[in-house]
Amino acid sequence: MIEVSGLTKKYGDVLAVDDVSFSVSKGEIVGFLGPNGAGKSTTMKVLTGYLAPTEGTASINGHDIIDAPLAARSAVGYLPESTALYEEMGVVDYLRYMGRMQGVSAADIQGRIDDVIQTCGLGTMAHKDISQLSKGYHQRVGLAQALLNDPPVLILDEPTSGLDPAQIVEIRALIRRIAEEKAILLSTHILPEAQNTCSRILIISNGKLVGEGTSDELLDMVSGNEQYSIRLRGGDGTLKKLEDLRGVHNLVSSKEGSELTCTLTAEKGTDLREQIFDTAVASGAKLLELSHRSTSLEDVFLSLTGTTGRRGASADAEGGSDNE
């Protein structure tokens, strides 16, 4: 439904999007993940016809964005990053205007408005002015607007930015609910969002597509390690035996009174939990704690985007407060 090939966008001499190709088909929710300024919004602006590509092209629902811009735009519901609405208008009035502009006929418009108000949970706010709405309801009006002509493709730029955790959960559920019949491309810089909501993830960094796949496939792209945190009491020589287990690279331990804490690093793809338990029991030690952590998507993200530190990959659920 969305086909992008060799898309490049330059702002003057600055390369914002560099030869990006991907596709999104019906029923898919594709997450566009990248640090701020990676080129997510620019790509979306090109796809919706707000900006023209410097090179390459794209088509939406079979309509080329350059040769048939109006047909392509009719097939897209778009929620821009800014979610700018006409503050002076009433909610219903605004939806009627946007619907008519999208080509919904005068006869159908009221039914469509009722539908999207229902879908987006705007019932209690329908008769207020937009200026009276909170940030979360602004976002919902923006989403409602994108759904008015029931487009086959949705492009949502940071749909959950600036929302509180409860609202984020609601918006995600809403997106999943409408996803079945549509092709959805949504951008985010919040990892759990991509992981929870999307069936496939595109990672973009400095305008280039650096990774693509389901979150499991992406995890395979980066060779990582398995890590185990272990806490033991008693059992002399347990550490030595643990170190000799197959695939163990490294063992760091510290002793606190009678308790022994250690971190064990092992080869990727092995699961040593049962063996650790058996080893501890066999040498007479009491196992107090055992936890396992493998490479996270966050590690993948950081390694693919070359980002140092944790900025742009924050795992906080209320992320997006750092809008640019």
User: Which residues sit at the interface with another protein, rule CB under 8 A?
Assistant: 11, 45, 48-52, 70-71, 73-74, 76, 78, 80, 82, 84-89, 97-98, 100-103, 142, 145
Measured from the CB atom, the residue of 74 and 303 that comes closer to another protein is 74
Torsion of CA 122, 123, 124, 130, to 10 degrees: 40
Sequence letter at residue 287: L
Q: How far apart are CA 159 and CA 168, in angstroms?
A: 9
Closest contact distance (angstroms) between CB of 103 and another protein is 6
Measured from the CB atom, the residue of 51 and 126 that comes closer to another protein is 51
Closest contact distance (angstroms) between CB of 108 and another protein is 14
Contact call for residues 226 and 237 (beta carbons, < 8 A): no
Closest contact distance (angstroms) between CB of 184 and another protein is 16
Measured from the CB atom, the residue of 148 and 300 that comes closer to another protein is 148
Measured from the CB atom, the residue of 52 and 282 that comes closer to another protein is 52
Q: How far apart are CA 48 and CA 195, in angstroms?
A: 25
Closest contact distance (angstroms) between CB of 85 and another protein is 7
Q: How far apart are CA 207 and CA 201, in angstroms?
A: 15
Closest contact distance (angstroms) between CB of 106 and another protein is 9
Contact call for residues 188 and 31 (beta carbons, < 8 A): yes
Closest contact distance (angstroms) between CB of 13 and another protein is 13
Measured from the CB atom, the residue of 89 and 126 that comes closer to another protein is 89
Closest contact distance (angstroms) between CB of 125 and another protein is 18
Q: How far apart are CA 95 and CA 142, in angstroms?
A: 9
Contact call for residues 165 and 318 (beta carbons, < 8 A): yes
Measured from the CB atom, the residue of 133 and 218 that comes closer to another protein is 133
Sequence letter at residue 57: T
Contact call for residues 202 and 44 (beta carbons, < 8 A): no
Measured from the CB atom, the residue of 87 and 316 that comes closer to another protein is 87
DSSP strands (E only) in 25-60: 29-33, 55-60
Reading the block at residue 149, the tokens are: 């002509």
